A and B are shown apart, each in its own frame.
Chain A
Amino acid sequence: MYKEQTPAWIDQKRDRCRSVEMFAILLALCSLAYFTFGNVLPQRWVQQEPLRFTEDGSFQIAIFEDFHFGESMPFLLATQI
């Protein structure tokens, strides 16, 4: 008695179906991740609008500098408070 073997073409079809199924699951997970965590993904994932002149042909830049955030008071001044 012998065990009837599954035709090879059926195995190949099953493999393709599994591949498509796994790809669809992966795509769904990626989409879920993007829409859930899009704001913390590396910025290369986010489409940035290039800088443009306005419709009247102008472009204004505001330059801020030397903020020094986090600067602490010197010990002498701190002890006088």
Chain B
Amino acid sequence: MDRVLDAEAAQLVVLNGDIITGENTHLENSTHYMDQVVAPLLARNLPWASTYGNHDGQYNLSGLNLLARERQWPNARTTQMVFGERIGHTNYYLPVYSSDCASGRESSCTPGLLLWFFDARGGFDFQQHDESGEPVARPNWVDSAVVDWFNNTSSSLSERHGKTIPSLAFVHHPTHTSQELQAEGIDPNKYPGIDDDWPIAAQADGWCEDGSEGCSYGGQDEPFMSALASTAGLLAVFSAHDHGVSWCTKSHSHPEGMPIKGNGINLCFGQHTGYGGYGTWARGSRQVLITEEMLEHAEVDTWIRLESGEFIDSVSLNSTYGEDRYPASPNPHSTGPDDEYYD
């Protein structure tokens, strides 16, 4: 993390889930690993915003306690805006204002950008057992109450400010749309990036339509996919979860079998960051550069900065993304004593 932060000039760090492997932690100090994670950010006085992944919600690790741990620091922008039983915690949005919006007068300014954060849950309920003594699995999709909040809040913001505000979204689990688009084929020269996790694991995988477990896919992420596809100004969705995937693709067509029509939204994965977790892909971080000028053209630049310092897979998520040609990803792998460990 230090090397990436030193090589780049970020205004915000996003921690996009699976920050902690909760199932390997003890109840008494499971949230304390967050102190180690954010130490480089505190040292640089960088703000951060988190989403939680399936490993961040486990029998000994509570999302609520983790959020409380984060928010002991002023740098943490992670918060909770939607409340309900078992719907997750990291559901919120952050506005980004222009530099000429006077400090303290933000309520009278229109944000130049909105950042949406969603909690797709997964993992297990905190300190809960079922009748047979087994941990209780949590649904691994964005809850419908959160989708309602997203739709209502997005509309409300547009109405209040009298315009569509460009936005980006972050959620640990990708939606099924990404899985379907992968199945159609990811051209390495149009969508450069790692494509080694096949098929990708996505929301609602492992669940049945009736909400029970044990099926391949239950479809419960359809409301969320529909909300994303119908949100004007949403330029890209950034997901994680699948360590062996790092491409950005564009939902420019109606994927075969998908009920939700794509609207040109870019669906991106990042670079696996941690020394923990499966796989030997080089560790790194996806960088996203937004300028006020580029937003007028609905464009965003993004690339991968590796721990080694290498700068790879740079693309422009613009109107011709998916037609433009780029060098294929070099897909380097890392070395180290833990690199062949599978969780």
Contacts and interface: CB of A to CB of B under 8 A. Distances in A.
A65 B240 CA distance: 6
Contacts of A56: 291
B24 interface: yes
B97 A52 contact: yes
A7 interface: no
Contacts of A10: none
Contacts of B290: 53, 58-61
A35 interface: no
Contacts of B1: 64
A66 B17 contact: yes
Given A62-B285, A67-B18, A68-B277, A54 B338 contact: no
Contacts of A72: 21, 24
Nearest to B22: A70
Contact of A51 (B12, B24, B276): B12
B8 A68 contact: no
Contacts of B204: none
Interface in B1-27: 1, 4-5, 8-22, 24-25
A4 B319 CA distance: 92
A55 B10 CA distance: 14
Contacts of B17: 65-66
A49 B12 CA distance: 12
Interface string B262-299: 00000000111111110000000111111111000000
A70 B33 contact: yes
B150 to A, nearest CB: 19
A80 to B, nearest CB: 11
B10 A65 contact: no
17 contacts: A48-B77, A51-B96, A52-B96, A53-B97, A57-B291, A61-B10, A61-B14, A62-B4, A63-B270, A64-B13, A64-B273, A66-B53, A66-B240, A66-B274, A69-B34, A69-B274, A69-B276
